[in-house]
Structure 1
Amino acid sequence: MKLNSRQRDILRATVRHYVNTAEPVGSKSLAKGYDLQVSSATIRNVMSALEGSGLLYQPHTSAGRIPSDSGYRRYVDELMVPSEPLTRRMETTLSDRLDWNGLAMEALLKESAQVLSRLSGYIALVTLPHVGTSVVKHLKLVRVSDHQILLVVLDIYDNHSVLLPIAPDPKDSELKDEHLDIDAELQVLSNFLTNQLRGRSLHDAKLDWSDLDQTFQRYTEALQSAIADLAKKTSTAPNSQILISGLAEALDQPEFAEREQIRSIVQLLEDGRDQLWPLIANPLLPDTETGSPLAKRQRIRIWIGAENPLEPMRACALIASRYGHSPGPTGSLGVLGPTRMLYENAVAAVEAAANYLTDAVSGSQIEGVGVS
């Protein structure tokens, strides 16, 4: 159903009134509280047409009307304007409260989740960032015994290490001065590897050994094998941990008054994070095909009511976004609340948090802030 301007105005007013009051909306309330410039009888007729189109419904025969999941979807896609004042407030609060140069990444994300839940009024969900391919910052070789050395690789979030054997030096069978020789050689090799690989992925580690003296040939085979092993190790699946904040406050909403509804949501957040993870971690996939204005917004995806694939969330709305830029570190965040959500504020808060964390994880590539 294509809405005319009057239908759009009345649907918008109905959603806003219901979000504010949590009470079914009647035509007299809209006529009194909104400048619709039409009579209550006209409003009633339009609301009836919207109900016939599945955008509103009556919970009881004698009650007013409330938005359906389809009504919220139409509102979000066509009528909603995210709150610019809240976006600025969120950005200011994050900047004032958080200093990502002074925080480990996980601590920063926990604080961000707290700010997001407080300003949105809903449950905040934030995933730890993942780097699709490890980007090298520094490499170090250290002798740990007469027959082994340790290769340590620092990437932008973590450090990785592997032991490898030392082949004997064919030119010297005596060990009395070999320790000094090995330490010096390892320092040269450390500098060589760092210069060759800094800023690159271990998967792209095609080393040019031609600049090295023949002395170092005894290390090359073991080093190439060790670097290949580390490349496989750092390409494992991302950490599926989800940081959660604001659960107690959000459950004060009237939609969660039923004990069973509370139990199912809490159980999902505590024990079903493996099910929740794909929704949070891949927020863009469905909306890119709709062509709606929402799909063009920055990294935003919204599931409303029955659109949610998980049963405990069928009375909820989930707004999710990515932060970061691939191939660098990326993660996701979102808010979960009732379908009777103040979408303008929730979308603005999620966007502002995503922008802030994008700057933070992008900066961490330079500053070296890591996950604790």
Structure 2
Amino acid sequence: MKLNSRQQDILRATVRHYVDTAEPVGSKSLADGYDLQVSSATIRNVMSALEGSGLLYQPHTSAGRIPSDSGYRRYVDELMMPSKPLTRQMETTLSNKLDWDGIAMEALLKESAQVLSRLSGYIALVTLPHVEASTIKHLKLVRVSDRQILLIVLDIYHNHSILLPIDSELEDEPKDIDAELQVLSNFLTDQLKGRSLHDAELDWSNLDQTFQRYAEALQSAITDLSRKSRVLPNTQILISGLAGALDQPEFAEREQIRSIVQLLEDGRDQLWPLIAAPLPSEIKSGSALTNQQRIRIWIGAENPLEPMRACALVASRYGHAPGPTGSLGVLGPTRMLYENAVAAVEAAANYLTDAVSGNQEVYI
């Protein structure tokens, strides 16, 4: 159904009034509270037509009307006017409350989730970033005991480490193993600096014969680190604002609260693809997306997970491949102030993109 301007105005007013009051909306409330320049009877007739189109419905025969999932979808796609000044205001708030210079990435993301939940009033969800490819900066071998060596690989965004056993033949030799490890560290850094961990094959022929006995264990360890670094952190979702969001009247039923809490605590492997799945536009055109293209909104029955059928999720990506990329979003009732939710998510996505992009050395 294509809406004329009057139908658009009345649907927009109905959504906004219901978001503000959580009470079914009557024609008199709209006539008194909004400058629609039509009579209450005309508003009532238009609301009846919108109900017939499935955009509004009556929870009880004697009650006013409330937006359906389709009504919210029409509002979000056609009638909502995201506020760029509000997005910039929220970006300023994030910048004032957060300082990512030198902070560990996970700590930054936890603080970002807390600020995002406060700004939006909903549950904030932030995934840890994944790096498709990052170049190695430095490698170091450190003896941590008589029987173990720690290999540390530092790339632009992460620290990777793995323990190696010390060859039993070396344990009894009166050699300075620490000096040997320093030579090996220099060799590894010279060989692999600027390369990806996923392409870390070493040319051991350039190494003195004295050190060849380390070759097999080191190459195996580097291969193992490369394999582990390819694994997506598909259940690592940071969550903030659960207690406050559940005060919403839509979550008054205990069973509904229980199902949402259980999903957030135990179902993150199900939740993660919903937040982090790439958009079709990303797949076709790469990752250089506008803010509007990066935003995804799931409303009510559009959510594939049963506990979220009474909820709306506003999500976005942050970062640019091949650097770190992740996702974030806010989860709340379908009676959501979508303009503010979109502005808050855009602001947080912009902030975290700046934090993890370029040459900034922010480590997990």
TM category, shorter: 0.7 to 0.9
Please say if residues 152 and 159 of structure 2, whose CA atoms lie closer than 8 Å, have aligned partners that are also in contact: no
1:53 is displaced (CA, Å) by 1.1
Report whether the alignment pairs 1:308 with 2:309: no
Report whether the alignment pairs 1:197 with 2:197: no
Distance 1:93 1:252 in 2: 24
- 2:118 aligns with 118
| TM-score, normalisation: structure 1 | 0.84
- 1:366 aligns with 360
Please say if residues 165 and 222 of structure 1, whose CA atoms lie closer than 8 Å, have aligned partners that are also in contact: no
- Helix, strand or coil for the counterpart of 2:37? coil
Q: Which moved more, 1:96-105 or 1:350-359?
A: 96-105
Distance 1:213 1:187 in 2: 14
Structure 2, gaps ≥5 residues long: none
1:1-372 equivalence runs, <5 A: 1-133=1-133, 135-142=135-142, 150-155=150-155, 156-163=157-164, 179-180=175-176, 186-208=181-203, 219-238=214-233, 240-282=235-277, 284=279, 297-362=292-357, 366-367=360-361, 369-371=362-364
Distance 2:341 2:147 in 1: 59
Please say if residues 58 and 66 of structure 2, whose CA atoms lie closer than 8 Å, have aligned partners that are also in contact: yes
| TM-score, normalisation: structure 2 | 0.86
Q: Which moved more, 1:316-325 or 1:156-165?
A: 156-165
- Helix, strand or coil for the counterpart of 1:297? helix
- Helix, strand or coil for the counterpart of 1:366? coil
1:77 is displaced (CA, Å) by 1.0
Structure 1, gaps ≥5 residues long: none
1:279-318 residue CA offsets vs partner (Å, 9 max, x unmatched): 22326369989xxxx9971421111111111222111111
Please say if residues 14 and 67 of structure 2, whose CA atoms lie closer than 8 Å, have aligned partners that are also in contact: yes
Please say if residues 126 and 327 of structure 2, whose CA atoms lie closer than 8 Å, have aligned partners that are also in contact: yes
1:191 is displaced (CA, Å) by 2.5
Distance 2:212 2:309 in 1: 63
Please say if residues 162 and 221 of structure 2, whose CA atoms lie closer than 8 Å, have aligned partners that are also in contact: no
Distance 2:15 2:147 in 1: 72
Number of equivalences:
358
Q: Structure 1's 93 and 13: CA in aligned 2 closer, same or farther, altered over 3 A? A: same
Q: Which moved more, 1:330-339 or 1:189-198?
A: 189-198
1:44 is displaced (CA, Å) by 2.2
Task: Report the identity percentage.
Answer: 82
Please say if residues 167 and 219 of structure 1, whose CA atoms lie closer than 8 Å, have aligned partners that are also in contact: no
